[in-house]
Amino acid sequence: MSTAAPMTIEELIEEFDDLGDWADQCEILIDMGRELPHMPAELKTDETKVHGCQSNVWMVASVSDSEPRTIELIADSDAMIVRGLLTVILMVYSSRTPQEIHNTDIKGIFSRLGLDRHLSTARKNGLGGMVSRVRQIADNALAPN
């Protein structure tokens, strides 16, 4: 599989459904992780680190000034499978408004991908931490200045 052309979350779910086998699905996540651009080292700080993850994970957001305000995310990890999970999070949340982020049924998406069944407890906790960070960013973007 090549993710050279951006894939939508629906296309990823369809691909996962077609494969059916977790080992093959995991390989897609790893491939997606390989293609995730690396975050510049100067952005990897304690402030951008996502806590609660087994691996090192960093996430940075920018909020557009134009209306509707959208959030752009960049993220990175030192673990390939986590980089793949970050790619999924970016597919779901990047270029969305804070309200769209809050309205997204992320647990439903993770369930449709089988992540709720196949990830270890530690990975699920880390994934929850990444989602919490995105929601916190969305809350901050909604707050009056």
Give catalytic residue positions.
53
Task: Write the DSSP assignment of the chain as a string of letters.
Answer: ---SSPPPHHHHHHHHHHH--HHHHHHHHHHHHHHSPPPPGGG-STTTB-TT-SS-EEEEEEE-SSSSP-EEEEEEESSHHHHHHHHHHHHHHTTB-HHHHHH--HHHHHHHHTHHHHS-HHHHHHHHHHHHHHHHHHHHHHS--
CA diameter of the chain: 48
Residue 69 burial by CB count (10 A; 0-12/13-18/19+): exposed, middle or buried? Answer: middle
